[in-house]
Amino acid sequence: MVAIKKLAIPKSVKKIKSSRSLLKELKDVTELQHENINPFIGACLEAPYFCLVTEYCGNGSLENLLSDEEFRCHMALKNSFLNDLVNGMTFLHESPIQSHGRLKTSNCVVDDQLVLKITDFSLAEIRSMEDSSLLNLDEHSFFLKQLGIAPELLRMEIRPPKGTQSGDVYSFGIILHEVLYRHGIFYRGEDEYSSTKEIAANVYKIILNTSPFGVENENVETLIELMMNSWAEKPQDRLTFKEIQSLVAQFSDVKNIDHRLLKPINITNIVNKTIESEIQELAEKISLISEPHE
Ligand SMILES: Nc1nc2c(ncn2[C@@H]2O[C@H](COP(=O)(O)OP(=O)(O)OP(=O)(O)O)[C@@H](O)[C@H]2O)c(=O)[nH]1
């Protein structure tokens, strides 16, 4: 099975020319092989089917999983996702691709074994031809797409098409926050609600003090320190993925977790749901019985 990403290429373009640099990018991205990189299969560069094709991951994106209230994600699984993400990004940064540039939870997909794989990177030449106005984004969705971008990149009139390595580390810090708290991007408690536009404006000026809450244990405290470091205002103050990899390895008894052991989480949920609906049915029957008959 494959995942097909439709590209927002303007109607006036009939075919994307295969320049030398584009062919090199396609070759590099196709040759990339790592457990935490989602394999790229191919691209259609002709109208009307402009699209990118990748391997299909059965559990969808990390964004979808984190927002699914029925998906139980305990700390070992969170660690496992972070470990996968850091390993994939360290490999990507050391590869000819060099940087991701659009790292966010919707670009991390999770396979049937709950292994996280990074997707939707590189091919800057094709992506630069997209016209975002064709996506018909409302204001919220538009600014939501900006929130994982490092402030120094947000402030640039023309951003480097491939992003930067320190910009990717910033985006990782944002993902870390989303994974730890599971309340969406830049959540700071019910009383701290801001619109996505306001948050983007604040990040543009200076990095928000996205003060964390609910420190549960020592490991989480270390992850929070890492998260805060990753969104340091000065890019040179942020750790590199290589450094983050050795830090995260402390939690990496997770490396040895058999992913199949984590799978029953979903099943438990389904079982709980079934039991809940049976209880509900039973409760309805009981209330029918106990209701006085006229
Ligand atoms: N189930 C499944 N869903 C996928 C897969 N790849 C992508 N998706 C879905 O496609 C969504 C991402 O769509 P995109 O159009 O790339 O959205 P985006 O990441 O916000 O867009 P960009 O800003 O262009 O990166 C994810 O959130 C998933 O829901 C896959 O392998 N399996």
Report ipTM for this prediction.
0.96
Q: What tens digit of pLDDT does each residue of 272-283 get?
A: 333 344 434 434
* Amino acid 203: pLDDT: 77
State which ligand 1 atom lies nearest to the alpha carbon of 60. 1
Q: What is the whole-number distance in angstroms between the Cα of residue 167 and the centre of ligand 1?
A: 21
State which ligand 1 atom lies nearest to the alpha carbon of 127. 24
* Amino acid 213: pLDDT: 57
Q: What tens digit of pLDDT does each residue of 95-109 get?
A: 999 999 999 999 999
Q: 47-51, 127-131, 133-137, 267-271 — which is least confidently predicted?
A: 267-271
Given a cut of 60, whether residue 266 has pLDDT beyond it is no
Percent of the chain with pLDDT over 90: 55
Q: 140-149, 176-185, 281-290 — which is least confidently predicted?
A: 281-290
The reported pTM is 0.83
Q: Whose CA is nearest to atom 4 of ligand 1?
A: 60
- Asked if residue 175 lies in contact with residue 105, where contact means CB atoms within 8 angstroms, the answer is yes
- Which residues, listed in sequence order, are joined to residue 75 by a DSSP beta bridge? none
User: What 3 state SS string does the chain have?
Assistant: CEEEEECCCCCCCCECCCCHHHHHHHHHHHHCCCCCECCEEEEECECCCCEEEEECCCCCEHHHHHHCCCCCCCHHHHHHHHHHHHHHHHHHHHCCCCCCCCCCHHHEEECCCCCEEECCCCCHHHHCCCCHHHHCCCHHHHHHHHCCCCHHHHCCCCCCCCCCHHHHHHHHHHHHHHHHHCCCCCCCCHHHCCCHHHHHHHHHHCCCCCCCCCCCCHHHHHHHHHHHHHCCCCHHHCCCHHHHHHHHHHHHHHHHCCHHHHCHHHHHHHHHHHHHHHHHHHHHHHHHHHCCCC
Q: Whose CA is nearest to atom 20 of ligand 1?
A: 106
Q: Name which of 237, 240, 260, 259 is nearest 248 in CA terms.
A: 240
Bond before 48 cis per omega within 30 degrees: yes
State which ligand 1 atom lies nearest to the alpha carbon of 6. 15
Domain extents for the chain? 59-268
Task: Identify the residue with better confidence: 229 or 279.
Answer: 229
Task: Identify the residue with better confidence: 98 or 251.
Answer: 98
The pLDDT confidence band at residue 181, using thresholds 50, 70 and 90, is: confident
In whole numbers, what is the pLDDT of the chain averaged over residues? 83
Centroid of chain to Cα 255: 20
User: Given CA atoms 158, 162, 164, 170 in this order, what sign does their dihedral have?
Assistant: positive
Pick from 109, 111, 115, 143 the residue to mutate for probing ligand 1's pocket: most ligand atoms within 8 Å of its CB.
109
Residues 6+ apart with CB under 8 A from 259: 80, 113, 114, 115
Pick from 61, 62, 66, 174 the residue to mutate for probing ligand 1's pocket: most ligand atoms within 8 Å of its CB.
61
Q: Hey, which CATH number is domain 59-268, 2.40.30.10, 3.40.50.1110, 3.40.50.1220, 1.10.510.10?
A: 1.10.510.10
- Asked if residue 239 lies in contact with residue 246, where contact means CB atoms within 8 angstroms, the answer is no
Centroid of chain to Cα 144: 13
Residue type, 241: F
The pLDDT confidence band at residue 208, using thresholds 50, 70 and 90, is: low
* Amino acid 207: pLDDT: 65
Percent of the chain with pLDDT over 70: 79
- Asked if residue 165 lies in contact with residue 93, where contact means CB atoms within 8 angstroms, the answer is yes
Q: Whose CA is nearest to atom 6 of ligand 1?
A: 3
Q: Whose CA is nearest to atom 2 of ligand 1?
A: 60
* Amino acid 24: pLDDT: 94
* Amino acid 136: pLDDT: 81
